[in-house]
Structures are given as C-alpha cells and as structure tokens.
Chain A
Amino acid sequence: MVPVASVDFTSQLLQYFANGVAKGSTYALMAVGYTLVYGVLQLINFAHAEVYMLGSHFAYYQAKWGGYLPDEPGAKPESVPILLVGTFIAVAMLACAAVGMLIERVAYRPLRNAGRLAPLITAIGVSLFLQYGGQVVFGTEPKLFPTFVETEVFEIGSVKIPNTNLLIVVTTFVLMLGLTLFVSKTRPGAAMRACSHDMRTAKLMGINVNATISLTFAIGSALAAVAGVLVAMDQPAITPLMGVRIGLKAFVAAVVGGIGSIPGAALGGLVLGVSESVVGGLWDTNYAEAVAFVFLIVVLLLKPSGLLGKATREKV
C-alpha cells in the first residue's frame, strides 16, 4: 500500500480509506467463496484459503515457464503482455475451479450425511494438507511474483491510488456484479438458491444437487484464484502459507456481512479492509487486526446473523 506523506488529517484519512477499499475488495472476493459454500452446505470450507494460494502459484508457474520471471537467467526483459496475463489468470481460475470441485468430491461429499462436525474437521485437514503439501511442492522460500502490470500511481487531490489497487477494486466489482446476476437470473443460479434453501426439496424439483454443489465450489474457487493473482500483483512475494491470514479475515468478513449473503460478503470485506487500513494507519498496524476481530465480536453481539444476514429461517 502507499505510504502517506501528507500530514493533513483529512487527506490521510482519505488515503487510508482508499487503501482499505482495495484491501477490502480482496477480502470480499474471498469472502464470497466462504459464503456461497456455507449457503449451500452450511459448511465452512477452510481449504478455500489454500485455493487462493494455489491460484497465485498457478499464475506464477505459468509466468515462470513462459520465461517472464525477472530474476531468472534468459528472462524476457519487459513485463508480461496483457493478453498473456489474461490467459494466465483464466488458466489459474480453471485450475482452481477443478481443485475446488475435487476437494468437495473427495473430502466433503462422502460426509454429506455425517453431521456438521465431521466435514468441518476434514476442511481443516484439507487446508493443512495443502499448506504443507504446498511447502513440499513449491518450497518454503517466498517467490517474487512477476510484473503483470507496471505500477503507475494516480493522484486524485492528495490521495494516491496505484493502478493495481484500481484494478483490484474494478475487477472485484465486475465479478461480484456478474456473480449476483448469475445467481439471480440464470437456471444454474436458481438451482443454487433452491439448494441453499432446502436441498431435499431442491431434489424434488428435478435439480441435480451434486452438480449444483460442484458448481458452487467451482465458482468460489475461481474467484479465489483471481483474488490470489490480484494480491500477488500488489504485494509481490507469494508463499504456500499466504492464504492463512487472508483466509481467516475473509471468513470474518463473510460472518460480519452475514454468512450466506453475497452482498453481505462484499460489505463485510469492505468494512473489514477499511477499518483495518484506517486503524493501522492512524494508530498502529500491529493493532489493526486485533481491531478487526474486536469489530467482529461487536457486530455479532449486536446482530448475530451479521450485517446483511437474515435471521435463521424456520424450516417448515
């Protein structure tokens, strides 16, 4: 994020706010994955954070094999062409969608009727497996992420906004809008909504519940891949453990916003990102995360179903 040079309080605040919106967008993009899966299965997919990590690694290795790593011998000097960046991201999305569906198929589906605790434990298991498996496969050293976009900083008044942040916010907005339209307007979207209300009745409507659940995982995972790449572009080192913190925060964002609600995930992400950035900037970055979690507790005490969450539905 951008250091603040000015001492003027208002412009400082605005700067932190702008930084927070970008940070919050990545939380939102991740939070949506937790919320979609929770909406359908009432399961917290802890492995979601590792899908995010895989997303950035998938993009990284494509760039590496394409010869776009800056510090490698024989590397192409210029930054990655924009079309190729698009391809890298698309491939990472598809690969992560496949991983997400595989995780559901292997670790959650066999436990579908086993109560809620068992899949929660396997979720933690898959998450740890991917963290440590990632360290074995990718190595523990942080990897410098290639330059996908040359950084440029726009100035609006006294507020400095790097183009990467702008890209993060715009991409998130477009994807969230697309997702909302998909869920509310399309046939598979209707199936997702029906499954989230009542899976048994959804079957009786002729909905293929297993396919719908797979689709839910695929969508959430593809969005996590985008988040992984966007964040890697902004803070250039990636590691197999990079998902842990953002995963936790995105989960918090989903709960603060009202888990199961897509607009809630967006709002929760933004609120968390902005509060973290503002507190970190004005006070102390060490307290920023603590404040975020205090915030979680306060919201849940006042509104246990989250900011935009609905009170628990009676299942008639």
Chain B
Amino acid sequence: MSDPILELADVNVYYGAIHALKGVSLTVRQGEVVTLIGANGAGKTTTLATVCGLMRPRSGTVHYGGEDIGRVATHQLVARGLVMAPEGRGIFPALTVEENLRLGAYARRDKAGIEKDLQHGFEIFPRLAERRRQRGGTLSGGEQQMLAIARALMSQPKLLLLDEPSLGLAPLIVQTIFETIDNVNKEGVTILLVEQNARIALKHSHRAYVIESGEISIEGESAALLDDPRVKAAYLGEG
C-alpha cells in the first residue's frame, strides 16, 4: 500500500462554541480517490477547510506529506501542492475564464509550464476554450464547476480537495465532472472528495468515510460501503 499523503489524527474544530469536528481521524494515501460523505452540516466542508488551513484545529494534528501543517498558511500549502476547489466553486465572476485559470497558477513561476497546463485544461474542458474571453460570472453552473476544477489543476496539485463538485448540477453534467475526476486521478493526482451525492461519490472513489455530526461513523472500501445496509438506508435512499 502506498504512503499516506494526508493524515488527520483526532482533529477537533470549533466555530465559537459549536463543536464542529469531534475527533476526526482520516487518512488519504498517495494516488487514491477518497470520499467523505455525509448530510448537510455534518462537518464535510469544515474538514476540508481545516485541511487547507482556512480553519485551525483546537486539538489534534493534520499531516501532509509527513509534515505537520497545523500552522502553515493556506497560500503556502497551495505552493506545496495542496489545492482546493471550494464549494460554490469560488469563481471570480468579473474576471474572464482565462484570467481565472491564470490565477490558479499564481504560485508558479514556470511560464512555459503554465501555458502548457492552460492548453491541457482547455483539452480536458473544450467548453472553457470556447469561452476563454467570457467573464466567469456568465458561465452556467456546470461550466463554472469545470472552471473550478481546471483552475485547481493549474496549481499543479499533488492532493486535490473537491468540495461538492456535483452541487446543483444536472445529472448529465455530474457524470462528465466525475469522469474528469477519474481522469485527473489517473494522471497521478490524489483526491479527497466531499459529496452529498453518496452514490456517485462511492462509485468514483477507492475508499470512503461517512461523517455524522462531526464524527466519522463508518469507513471502508467504497465498493463495500455501496452494499452496507447503514449507508444504503441513510445515504442511498434504499432499504
């Protein structure tokens, strides 16, 4: 089994008096797609925000590539390949598609590499190439999600955090997005994926964690969780 790239150990996070994450431990290994599923408000987004340094744990540790990153600033993590495509996509609406993409490469200095990755992004999402001079705010929801993923790839992620990539998208678009996620993973990017759409997330991941009220309740192989009666009842609308 490959080395862990991300390890959370007994992480506790608070919003003021609200105990949002209660001793969360999880591991993502090099090359995996790991998904974190759970209901609204269970702590999925808080987990990602803690990993990328937007929130700080009150106790517990977060290790990335073997290093404690509990005090490392978000922008420094981006430069080290820990990149998040946020929930709601975080597109700069007044900037063009291309400007958005170039901001993704902000931490990089290799001009030739940036141009190459820009072209690569346009190959993955031809729709973005058609709209490269259009403002981000004028894109459809699906196109914005494509832009968010393409922009995150511009940062050359080693570990890519995806927060609800299926949110508010038509089923066909969701399918496209998840096929892209598979391809990005095959290109060697490790992915931690947060989803409310448990079925598709489990189908497109290797392992999964279920979070409930700030605690990990179930973990295992994604294929196994698809058959787990508890997951079926609570998250797949079966049983």
List chain A positions with a Cβ less than 8 A from chain B: 187, 190-191, 193-194, 197-198, 200-209, 310, 313-314, 316
Contacts and interface: CB of A to CB of B under 8 A. Distances in A.
B107 to A, nearest CB: 3
Given A187-B106, A200-B54, A205 B93 contact: no
A190 B100 CA distance: 10
A314 B93 contact: yes
Nearest to B74: A203
Contact of A203 (B54, B95, B99, B137): B54
B92 interface: yes
Contact of B90 (A193, A200, A209): A200
B56 interface: no
A201 B148 CA distance: 11
B106 A201 contact: no
B78 A204 contact: yes
A200 B155 CA distance: 16
Contacts of B78: 203-206
Nearest to A203: B74
Nearest to B107: A206
Nearest to B155: A206
A314 B79 CA distance: 29
Contacts of A316: 88-91, 93, 137, 144
Contacts, number: 68
B75 A208 contact: yes
B106 A190 contact: yes
Interface string B77-113: 0110001101011111111000100111011000000
B90 A203 contact: no
A215 to B, nearest CB: 14
B92 A204 contact: no
A190 B95 CA distance: 10
Interface of B: 52, 54, 73-75, 78-79, 83-84, 86, 88-95, 99, 102-104, 106-107, 137, 144, 151, 155
18 contacts: A190-B102, A190-B106, A191-B106, A197-B92, A197-B94, A197-B95, A200-B54, A201-B86, A201-B90, A202-B103, A204-B54, A205-B78, A205-B104, A205-B155, A206-B79, A314-B93, A316-B89, A316-B91
Residue of B74, B78, B83, B107 with highest tally of chain A CB at under 10 A: B74
Contacts of B107: 205-206
Nearest to B92: A197
Residue of B83, B92, B155 with highest tally of chain A CB at under 10 A: B92
A209 B75 contact: yes
B106 A198 contact: no
Contact of A313 (B74, B79, B94): B94
Contacts of A206: 75, 78-79, 106-107, 155
A239 B99 CA distance: 46
Contacts of B74: 203-204
Contact of A204 (B86, B94, B137): B86
Contacts of A194: 92, 103, 106
A310 B88 CA distance: 22
Contacts of B155: 205-206
A316 B94 CA distance: 12
A206 B77 CA distance: 8
A193 B95 contact: yes
B38 to A, nearest CB: 22
B75 A198 contact: no
A113 B52 CA distance: 18
Contacts of A198: 90, 92
Given A204-B54, A206-B79, 12 more contacts: A190-B99, A190-B102, A190-B106, A197-B92, A203-B75, A204-B90, A205-B107, A206-B107, A207-B75, A314-B137, A316-B90, A316-B144
